[in-house]
Amino acid sequence: MYTGLQHAHSGLAYLVLLGVAISFIAALAGLLGGKTFTDKNRKLGLLGLIPTHLQWVIGLILYFVSPLGLKSASGAAMKDATTRLYVLEHPLMMVLAVILITIGYSKAKRQIGTNQGFKTMTIFYGLGLILILSRIPWNAWLG
Ligand code: HEM
Protein backbone atom coordinates (compact mmCIF):
# COMPACT_ATOMS: atom_id res chain seq x y z
CA MET A 1 0.00 0.00 0.00
CA TYR A 2 2.82 2.39 0.85
CA THR A 3 4.45 2.28 -2.61
CA GLY A 4 1.10 2.76 -4.36
CA LEU A 5 0.23 5.78 -2.24
CA GLN A 6 3.71 7.22 -2.69
CA HIS A 7 3.39 7.00 -6.48
CA ALA A 8 -0.13 8.44 -6.43
CA HIS A 9 1.00 11.35 -4.24
CA SER A 10 4.01 11.99 -6.42
CA GLY A 11 2.01 11.90 -9.69
CA LEU A 12 -0.97 13.87 -8.43
CA ALA A 13 1.39 16.66 -7.37
CA TYR A 14 1.74 17.61 -11.08
CA LEU A 15 -2.04 17.95 -11.41
CA VAL A 16 -2.20 19.99 -8.19
CA LEU A 17 0.42 22.45 -9.46
CA LEU A 18 -1.11 22.64 -12.92
CA GLY A 19 -4.70 22.96 -11.66
CA VAL A 20 -3.98 25.60 -9.03
CA ALA A 21 -1.80 27.55 -11.48
CA ILE A 22 -4.51 27.53 -14.19
CA SER A 23 -7.23 28.58 -11.69
CA PHE A 24 -4.97 31.34 -10.38
CA ILE A 25 -3.97 32.71 -13.81
CA ALA A 26 -7.59 32.62 -15.06
CA ALA A 27 -8.73 34.51 -11.93
CA LEU A 28 -5.95 37.08 -12.30
CA ALA A 29 -6.83 37.61 -15.96
CA GLY A 30 -10.50 38.16 -15.06
CA LEU A 31 -9.55 40.56 -12.28
CA LEU A 32 -7.23 42.62 -14.47
CA GLY A 33 -9.70 42.57 -17.35
CA GLY A 34 -12.49 43.94 -15.12
CA LYS A 35 -14.75 41.05 -16.11
CA THR A 36 -17.81 39.68 -14.28
CA PHE A 37 -17.28 36.45 -12.34
CA THR A 38 -19.60 33.80 -13.80
CA ASP A 39 -20.42 30.15 -13.11
CA LYS A 40 -17.91 29.21 -15.81
CA ASN A 41 -15.22 31.01 -13.83
CA ARG A 42 -16.31 29.16 -10.68
CA LYS A 43 -15.83 25.88 -12.54
CA LEU A 44 -12.30 26.90 -13.49
CA GLY A 45 -11.67 27.16 -9.75
CA LEU A 46 -12.53 23.46 -9.46
CA LEU A 47 -9.43 22.65 -11.54
CA GLY A 48 -7.36 23.73 -8.54
CA LEU A 49 -9.73 22.58 -5.80
CA ILE A 50 -10.36 18.95 -6.79
CA PRO A 51 -6.78 17.66 -7.22
CA THR A 52 -5.73 19.57 -4.09
CA HIS A 53 -8.42 17.86 -2.00
CA LEU A 54 -7.54 14.42 -3.35
CA GLN A 55 -3.87 15.08 -2.64
CA TRP A 56 -4.68 16.11 0.90
CA VAL A 57 -6.42 12.81 1.62
CA ILE A 58 -3.59 10.73 0.12
CA GLY A 59 -1.01 12.86 1.96
CA LEU A 60 -2.80 12.34 5.27
CA ILE A 61 -2.75 8.54 4.89
CA LEU A 62 0.88 8.66 3.72
CA TYR A 63 1.77 10.60 6.84
CA PHE A 64 0.86 7.55 8.93
CA VAL A 65 2.31 4.81 6.71
CA SER A 66 5.47 6.44 5.32
CA PRO A 67 8.76 5.98 7.17
CA LEU A 68 9.31 9.69 6.48
CA GLY A 69 6.09 10.79 8.22
CA LEU A 70 4.98 10.39 11.82
CA LYS A 71 7.25 7.35 12.33
CA SER A 72 10.33 9.53 12.04
CA ALA A 73 9.02 12.29 14.34
CA SER A 74 11.42 13.02 17.19
CA GLY A 75 13.34 15.88 18.76
CA ALA A 76 16.35 15.00 16.66
CA ALA A 77 14.21 15.04 13.49
CA MET A 78 13.36 18.67 14.19
CA LYS A 79 17.05 19.60 14.09
CA ASP A 80 17.56 18.17 10.61
CA ALA A 81 16.18 20.22 7.69
CA THR A 82 15.11 17.22 5.58
CA THR A 83 13.32 15.25 8.30
CA ARG A 84 11.72 18.45 9.65
CA LEU A 85 10.35 19.13 6.15
CA TYR A 86 8.56 15.76 5.96
CA VAL A 87 7.46 15.51 9.60
CA LEU A 88 6.33 19.09 10.12
CA GLU A 89 6.72 21.75 7.44
CA HIS A 90 5.37 19.94 4.37
CA PRO A 91 2.19 18.58 6.01
CA LEU A 92 1.47 21.83 7.88
CA MET A 93 1.95 24.17 4.93
CA MET A 94 0.05 21.89 2.54
CA VAL A 95 -2.91 21.70 4.92
CA LEU A 96 -2.85 25.50 5.21
CA ALA A 97 -2.76 25.75 1.41
CA VAL A 98 -5.76 23.38 1.11
CA ILE A 99 -7.68 25.49 3.66
CA LEU A 100 -6.87 28.75 1.81
CA ILE A 101 -7.89 27.32 -1.57
CA THR A 102 -11.11 25.90 -0.10
CA ILE A 103 -12.01 29.24 1.52
CA GLY A 104 -11.20 31.05 -1.74
CA TYR A 105 -13.42 28.75 -3.77
CA SER A 106 -16.31 28.92 -1.28
CA LYS A 107 -16.19 32.71 -1.01
CA ALA A 108 -15.87 33.22 -4.77
CA LYS A 109 -18.82 30.90 -5.38
CA ARG A 110 -20.99 33.36 -3.47
CA GLN A 111 -19.69 36.28 -5.55
CA ILE A 112 -20.98 35.18 -8.95
CA GLY A 113 -22.25 38.16 -10.92
CA THR A 114 -19.64 40.56 -9.51
CA ASN A 115 -15.95 41.24 -10.24
CA GLN A 116 -15.07 40.46 -6.61
CA GLY A 117 -15.02 36.69 -7.21
CA PHE A 118 -11.87 37.08 -9.32
CA LYS A 119 -10.14 39.06 -6.58
CA THR A 120 -11.04 36.46 -3.94
CA MET A 121 -9.78 33.61 -6.08
CA THR A 122 -6.60 35.44 -7.08
CA ILE A 123 -5.67 36.16 -3.45
CA PHE A 124 -6.56 32.79 -1.88
CA TYR A 125 -5.33 30.56 -4.71
CA GLY A 126 -2.21 32.73 -5.07
CA LEU A 127 -1.34 32.39 -1.37
CA GLY A 128 -2.08 28.65 -1.52
CA LEU A 129 0.19 28.26 -4.54
CA ILE A 130 3.04 30.08 -2.79
CA LEU A 131 2.74 27.81 0.27
CA ILE A 132 2.67 24.68 -1.91
CA LEU A 133 5.70 25.80 -3.95
CA SER A 134 7.60 26.70 -0.79
CA ARG A 135 7.34 23.28 0.87
CA ILE A 136 7.44 20.66 -1.89
CA PRO A 137 10.38 18.26 -1.33
CA TRP A 138 11.78 19.28 -4.73
CA ASN A 139 14.97 17.16 -4.58
CA ALA A 140 13.14 13.93 -3.75
CA TRP A 141 10.37 14.66 -6.26
CA LEU A 142 12.27 15.72 -9.37
CA GLY A 143 15.85 14.90 -8.40
C1 HEM B 1 -2.02 19.36 -1.30
C2 HEM B 1 -0.81 19.53 -1.55
C3 HEM B 1 0.34 18.56 -1.50
C4 HEM B 1 1.28 18.47 -2.49
C5 HEM B 1 1.34 19.26 -3.80
C6 HEM B 1 2.24 17.46 -2.05
C7 HEM B 1 3.35 17.09 -2.79
C8 HEM B 1 4.29 16.15 -2.40
C9 HEM B 1 5.43 15.75 -3.17
C10 HEM B 1 5.78 16.29 -4.57
C11 HEM B 1 6.12 14.81 -2.46
C12 HEM B 1 7.41 14.09 -2.88
C13 HEM B 1 7.04 12.83 -3.60
C14 HEM B 1 8.27 12.11 -4.10
O15 HEM B 1 9.26 12.00 -3.35
O16 HEM B 1 8.25 11.65 -5.26
C17 HEM B 1 5.41 14.61 -1.20
C18 HEM B 1 5.78 13.72 -0.21
C19 HEM B 1 5.10 13.52 0.97
N20 HEM B 1 3.95 14.18 1.36
FE21 HEM B 1 2.91 15.56 0.28
N22 HEM B 1 1.86 16.95 -0.83
C23 HEM B 1 0.71 17.59 -0.43
C24 HEM B 1 0.02 17.39 0.75
C25 HEM B 1 0.44 16.56 1.79
C26 HEM B 1 -0.23 16.43 3.08
C27 HEM B 1 -1.47 17.22 3.48
C28 HEM B 1 0.47 15.51 3.81
C29 HEM B 1 0.27 14.98 5.20
C30 HEM B 1 -0.67 15.33 6.04
C31 HEM B 1 1.58 15.06 2.98
C32 HEM B 1 2.52 14.12 3.36
C33 HEM B 1 3.59 13.70 2.62
C34 HEM B 1 4.55 12.68 3.04
C35 HEM B 1 4.52 11.90 4.35
C36 HEM B 1 5.48 12.55 2.00
C37 HEM B 1 6.67 11.58 1.95
C38 HEM B 1 6.21 10.32 1.25
C39 HEM B 1 7.33 9.30 1.11
O40 HEM B 1 8.10 9.42 0.15
O41 HEM B 1 7.38 8.39 1.94
N42 HEM B 1 1.53 15.73 1.76
N43 HEM B 1 4.30 15.42 -1.19
**Which atom of ligand 1 lies closest to the CA of 52?**
1
Q: Report, as an integer, the average pLDDT of 129-134.
A: 98
In a domain, 143, yes or no: no
Nearest CA to ligand 1 atom 33: 59
- Name the residue range of residue 79's domain: 2-138
Q: Are 121 and 27 in contact (CB under 8 A)?
A: yes
User: Cα–Cα distance between 77 and 87 in angstroms, integer?
Assistant: 8
Q: Which of 34, 19, 21, 22 is nearest to 117 (CA)?
A: 34
Q: What is the pLDDT of residues 37-93, one digit of tens each?
A: 999 999 999 999 999 999 999 999 999 999 999 999 999 999 999 999 999 999 999
In a domain, 128, yes or no: yes
Q: Are 93 and 135 in contact (CB under 8 A)?
A: yes
How far apart are the CA of 48 and the centre of ligand 1, in A? 17
Question: How many independent structural domains does the chain possess?
Answer: 1
- The pLDDT value recorded for residue 99 is 98
pLDDT band at 143 (very low <50, low <70, confident <90, very high): confident
In the chain, % of residues over pLDDT 70: 100
